[in-house]
């Protein structure tokens, strides 16, 4: 791995673990066992590192979010679960860059370009969730009026965007799979009132998995 890529990789790990605000370029250089001068050869400061990490994040997440917009994830009622598994993929990608969400207000205030990028991502999240719900409505998997559908999509977008802030404030530190699974379950909880019995069974299975995860975490 090239030094520049190592700097980004190490910075991302430290930002996620220690928080971006509490991590300096000196911390990053020490963690890599390189001189600060070597780091500054590649990046003028922490601001440039954060900006490039966000570019990576926006590129990866945008590609994922456009998938259900370009083509339905479920061709028919027999593979509706693809839509729910897709939510796991989105949340897993977001979790990899969770430091952005843990200090979101401050980062958006300091970096106008990132603020604009976040707005683009929120719009894409909303479009992706609307495409999923619209497909489910057309397949008679969910039953909702137009205004209900728009409200559902907005609430799901809100939860998807701020779930990691909420989870961190409430629980401090939890296993990644627990945080991600509960986030997906929270999204499914919003959809549940509009589901038929068949898909409600899938929702109940997700609840059982989450309960099992919590029990395992308590025993660890």
Is pTM beyond 0.85 here?
A: yes
3-state secondary structure the chain: CCHHHHHHHHHHHHHHHHCHHHCCHHHHHHHHCCCHHHHHHHCCCHHHHHHHHHHHHHHHHHHHHCHHHHCCCCCCHHHCHHHHHHHHHHHHHHHHCCHHHHCHHHHHHHCHHHHHHHHHHHHHHHHHHHHHHHHHHHCCCECCCHHHHHHHHHHHHHHHHHHHHHHHHHHCCCCHHHHHHHHHHHHHHHHHHHECHHHHHHHHHHHHHHHHHHHHHHHC
Each residue's pLDDT expressed in tens, for the chain with a length of 220 residues: 899 999 999 999 999 999 999 999 999 999 999 999 999 999 999 999 999 999 999 999 999 999 999 988 876 766 778 888 899 999 999 999 999 998 888 999 999 999 999 999 999 999 999 999 998 888 888 888 888 999 999 999 999 999 998 888 888 778 888 899 889 889 988 988 888 777 777 777 777 777 777 777 655 5
Which domains, and CATH codes, for the chain? 3-42 (1.10.10.60), 48-219 (1.10.357.10)
């Amino acid at each position: 791995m090239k030094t520049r890529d190592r700097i980004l990789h190490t910075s991302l790990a430290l930002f996620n673990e220690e928080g971006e605000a509490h991590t300096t370029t000196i911390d990053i250089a020490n963690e890599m066992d390189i001189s600060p001068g070597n780091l500054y050869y590649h990046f003028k400061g922490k601001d440039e590192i954060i900006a490039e990490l966000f570019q990576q994040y926006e590129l990866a997440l945008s590609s994922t979010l456009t998938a259900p917009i370009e083509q339905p994830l479920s061709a028919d009622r027999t593979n509706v679960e693809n839509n729910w598994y897709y939510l796991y993929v989105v949340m897993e990608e977001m979790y990899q860059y969770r430091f952005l969400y843990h200090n979101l207000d401050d980062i958006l205030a300091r970096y106008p370009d990132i603020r604009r990028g976040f707005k683009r991502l929120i719009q894409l999240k909303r479009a992706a969730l609307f495409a999923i719900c619209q497909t489910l409505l057309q397949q008679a998997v969910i039953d909702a009026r137009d205004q209900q559908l728009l409200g559902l999509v907005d609430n799901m977008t809100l939860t998807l965007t701020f779930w990691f802030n909420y989870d961190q404030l409430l629980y401090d530190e939890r296993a990644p799979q627990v945080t991600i699974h509960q986030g997906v379950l929270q999204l499914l909880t919003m959809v549940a009132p509009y589901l038929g019995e068949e898909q409600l069974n899938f929702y109940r299975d997700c609840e059982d998995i989450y309960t099992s995860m919590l029990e395992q975490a308590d025993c660890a």
